[in-house]
Amino acid sequence: MQIVDGGWYSKRASGQHRVELATTAPRGAILDRDGYRLALTEQASTIGATTSMITDPARVVAAVAEASGESPDTIMSRLNATGPTHVDLARQVPQAAAKRVQAMGIKGLDFTAEDRRVYPSAIAAPVIGVTDLEGKGLAGLELQYDKILRGQNGLEVRTEDPGGNAISVISSQAMRPGHTISTGLERQVQIEAEGVTAETRSTYHAKAVTAIVMDPKTGEILAMASAPAPTSGDYRQATANEVRLRGITDVYEPGSTFKAVTLGAGLATGRISPTTRVDVGSEWQLYDGTLHDSHPNPGVKTATEALRISSNIGVAKLAYEHLSTPGAHDSVLSQWIDRFGFGVPTGIDLPGEVAGIVPAYKDWSGTSPLNIPIGHGVAATPIQIAQLYATIANGGVQTTPHLVTRIDGQGPVGLQRKRVMPARAARTLAGMLEGVVSDQGTGSAAQIPGYSVAGKTGTTKKIDKSGVYSDHRYLSWFVGFAPVNNPRVLTLIMVDEPHGGQYYGGEVAGPAFAKLTERALIALGVQQDRPSTATG
């Protein structure tokens, strides 16, 4: 027996004495900037059934369906599954609900403890993400930081006697709980962002609305929201369209918001000043292309005036006359488009970010000077546009947008800086952008009582499937920051396909910007820097 069948008997003996004891590591929590738990792990139960012992299926189905929130039909189909003598009727049932079922004493039911991921805040669902039933991250921060949140399960391998008493420990791996991550999300600002996007979408019957609020100095995301959104705040019950992170996954022509790149390049290189003059005619023809202004205001303008009234002709001509080098393999504008970070992901700590689309200078056509300087012929994500204006607000220093700020209270995490443009040029551009939000600018509706505001409107026609610009499908943008001399809040609003006759960025996105930014300034305790006009 020892020689011929020794291996077989050895395996049987080992199986009878060798025991593996696993300990599941609790998943770390996700917190907002004030320590409020946005995601946490709690005890739950799996309710199972030995099918041969069930004598009253209707009672079982009713009890389990009420406890789990699943439909009775789903529970019944599991109970009636052919083949297995034991089935799991519902997993991750809240502990209190499971105990109520257990107290009913239904024969044939059993209850196994397990962990359950919950999201008590019911906000920022697409950003926070979700886990599967086994606790693995599937989307959002849950996926991005899965390894950090998950921790390490414990495992002890030991031998036992027939009575279950330990004889010896063969190996042991200690359980390590998952790390807790803190984010820069401000709960009240996030709630306001979700409300503003939903309200704006309803008002203009828009296809979608995106909002991003960030601290331009640190790059911390204070809020990120889109509409449509999960109605209950529950990722698991939402559609794919409701949980899309449009701010990082969708690309759009940025339109006039991109004019800050053109003016920024000119100011940084000294080729353009606020008083540089440009002749704005009723139209500008270059080769077989013709450029018009949405609000014609012909005549000689300064660069400041051209930006304030968002003159397509004025800004495009400034780029053509001052940022081009005939015969060169590259242009000043093309270099600065790259320098400001377009065509590559920002590096935000969320899964799925795309790079946008920027044609290489060698692929520019003869009419590219008519469109690229004013944000056509390129595509960017909303987070890239937000990062551009954060760089201007931050004195020319670019910070990487990020959600997570600390891990187990240690940080900061994700704070990456680099100087992109001279501080003086950034301050000058910020002053020019403040004029956009004056009564004479296209962004007057974005004014906030008591605060100075700098920003830019943008209105873009969308491209139809035929490849030509639509006459009725628009993108409406506003992006800006406040207070101008010490920016604490940067907000971007993008409305996709507003309807009802209004589509200019200033009139559609501007009021939403003002409402959301004011709420963020108040939430952060930012003091007013302008006299507030009383009304009554």
Please check whether residue 94 lies inside any domain of the structure: no
The CATH code of the domain that includes 375 is: 3.40.710.10
The per-residue pLDDT for 326 is 67
Please check whether residue 230 lies inside any domain of the structure: yes
CA 60 to CA 76: how far, in whole Å?
9
Two structure tokens written together for 511: 């009021």
Please check whether residue 104 lies inside any domain of the structure: no
Question: Who has greater pLDDT, 411 or 59?
Answer: 59
CA 359 to CA 377: how far, in whole Å?
8
Please check whether residue 389 lies inside any domain of the structure: yes
pLDDT digits (tens, 9 = 90+) for 465-508: 888 899 899 999 999 999 999 999 999 999 999 999 999 999 99
Task: Please tell me the total count of domains within the chain.
Answer: 1
Q: Which helix (H) or strand (E) holds 171?
A: strand 166-173
CB atoms within 10 A of CB 257: 32
The per-residue pLDDT for 536 is 35
Provide the mean pLDDT of the chain.
92
157-161, 256-260, 379-383, 387-391, range with the lowest pLDDT: 157-161
Cβ within 8 Å of residue 497, ≥6 positions away? 206, 207, 208, 462, 473, 474, 475
pLDDT digits (tens, 9 = 90+) for 94-127: 999 999 999 999 999 999 999 999 999 899 999 9
Confidence of residue 309 (pLDDT cuts 50, 70, 90): very high
Please check whether residue 270 lies inside any domain of the structure: yes
Single out the residue of 342, 350, 351, 341 nearest to residue 379, CA to CA.
Answer: 342
CA 279 to CA 318: how far, in whole Å?
9
Beta bridge partners of 357: 379
Please check whether residue 451 lies inside any domain of the structure: yes
Please check whether residue 80 lies inside any domain of the structure: no
Mean pLDDT of 59-74: 95
Handedness of CA 61, 65, 71, 74 (dihedral sign): negative
Cα dihedral angle (399, 405, 410, 413), rounded to 10 degrees? -40
Whether residue 310 is predicted with pLDDT greater than 60 in this model: the reply is: yes
Whether residue 18 is predicted with pLDDT greater than 80 in this model: the reply is: no
CA 469 to CA 110: how far, in whole Å?
62
Please check whether residue 401 lies inside any domain of the structure: yes
Mean pLDDT of 222-241: 93
Domain enclosing residue 204, as ranges: 187-523
